[in-house]
Amino acid sequence: MRTPIVRLAAVAAATGCFATSALAQDKSQVVAVRAGRLVDVDKGEIGRDQVIVVRGDRIEAIQPGSARLPTGARVIDLSKYTVLPGLIDCHSHLIGEIQAADVLLPLERSEAQEAFRGVRNARATLLAGFTSVRDVGTYRAFVDVALRDAIDDGTVIGPRMEVAGAYVTVSTGAGELVGAAPDVTIPFSYRFGVANSADEVRTRVRAILNGGADFIKILATGAVLTRGTKPGASEYTEDQIRAAVEQAAEYGAFVAAHAHGAEGIKRAVRAGVRSIEHGSLMDDEAIALMTKHGTWLVADIYNGDYTDSVGRQEKWPADILRKNTETTETQRVGFRKAVAAGVRIAYGTDSGIYPHGLNARQLPYMVKYGMTPMQAIQSATISAAQLMQWEDRVGSIAPGKLADLVAVQGDAMANLRSFEKVGFVMKGGVVYKEPSAVRP
Ligand SMILES: [Zn+2]
């Protein structure tokens, strides 16, 4: 018999209703998940015919399929599936509408509309098998903090979120809404993290972390989709980035740096950021520096194809399409070199630049540009958890960790495109999606 808790969650997922407090975890509930294939991302191995015992929201044990099941356990039969830890996207933007060429779009919607778009996006992300995200920024400050908290308290269905709160950016830089007439004042809530000196950087980092953010996102160079800015151009000095790193460290928090240009990447790495986002124009020296400092690379090597096809269809401005072309292929070349050099790589897709829920589309690209299928899956599980400093709770299927599990039909590791159709999603022991075949 399925418990009412599980049934409610499945119904909520299927109908689009939001989870309610009825989804609160029953700590005594025991579930036995029978896995035809079980991916051990810690060891890089695939086991056959295993059972994962879940008690409440945690994984209790992993045992051979022949071992006796705990009494009273609800059995979920995934013997025709490959079972993996919940996937993690380290570069998402869940708040608001999909970002297009119209950079002032966020001004046309109320804060509530932005938030409810986030609700929709969070649900699509979870049901695609991504049970955690590191959300790297929203134009309207702190909407991500509210979404994270609403998911955590069961008001909204979505992935666990680690959030940036607001962009730390120079004025008129990559994290600004640009395109307004010069005599139009953009409201403060869109410019919460604007900082033009090391002192201002410290002030804004404090304000963002005091406002409830988990880490800091700094825009070290120009951006592809921010009109007028140049991806190759640095926007902060090394000292200014270091000010962010040192101030964040006072809170036990880290800094993620958006950086396309090689010089901006090197400044950020030397300043001690935890991750480089994009890394599109990195050179050999930047790769060597990242290896030396143990800096993570989060490279969104899929979405350039999406931007190009949609941008041409919708006749986006020529300068955006040109910048996209200039960064896409060089990024992939750099990614391949970084893999070969042993740079630490975590999975991040820039979801929000393309529609949410398609997060798995980048997995085959990771293999095309130098990773093994196991390395690609590790980047989206245990490595991602390490980058987020969440490896104590998620990222692998191990006793004591949160029961975040996904399953893909058949031998999923043989075809990473099959991850676009995740058949089963459990987060914290609650089932949000399951194939009808496993229902008792
Ligand atoms: Zn981004």
Q: What is the pLDDT of residues 245-259, one digit of tens each?
A: 999 999 999 999 999
Q: Output the pLDDT for position 439.
A: 52
Share of the chain above pLDDT 70, in %: 92
Confidence of residue 99 (pLDDT cuts 50, 70, 90): confident
Beta-sheet strands, E only, within 291-437 = 296-298, 344-345, 405-409, 424-427, 430-433
Q: Position 285: which residue type?
A: E
62-to-33, 52, 139, 386 alpha-carbon distances in Å: 9, 5, 43, 22
pLDDT at 13 over 50: no
Question: pTM of the prediction?
Answer: 0.93
Phi-psi region of 203 (alpha: psi -120 to 50; beta: other; left: phi over 0): alpha
How many angstroms separate the CA atoms of 426 and 129, rounded?
8
List the single range of 216-225, 280-289, 330-339 with lowest mean pLDDT. 216-225
CA of 91 from ligand 1 middle (Å) equals: 6
CA of 271 from ligand 1 middle (Å) equals: 21
How many angstroms separate the CA atoms of 330 and 283, rounded?
10
How many angstroms separate the CA atoms of 403 and 172, rounded?
43
Average pLDDT of the segment spanning 411-432: 97
Confidence of residue 326 (pLDDT cuts 50, 70, 90): confident
Q: Output the pLDDT for position 293.
A: 98
Mean pLDDT of the chain: 92
Q: 3-class SS at 170?
A: coil
CA of 384 from ligand 1 middle (Å) equals: 16
CA of 165 from ligand 1 middle (Å) equals: 13
Please compute, for residue 264, the number of CA atoms within 13 A of its CA located in the half-sphere on the CB side: 27
CA of 319 from ligand 1 middle (Å) equals: 18
Average pLDDT of the segment spanning 215-229: 89
pLDDT at 16 over 70: no
CA of 93 from ligand 1 middle (Å) equals: 7
Phi-psi region of 439 (alpha: psi -120 to 50; beta: other; left: phi over 0): beta
Average pLDDT of the segment spanning 366-385: 98
Q: Output the pLDDT for position 20.
A: 34
CA of 408 from ligand 1 middle (Å) equals: 27
pLDDT at 433 over 80: yes
Average pLDDT of the segment spanning 139-160: 97
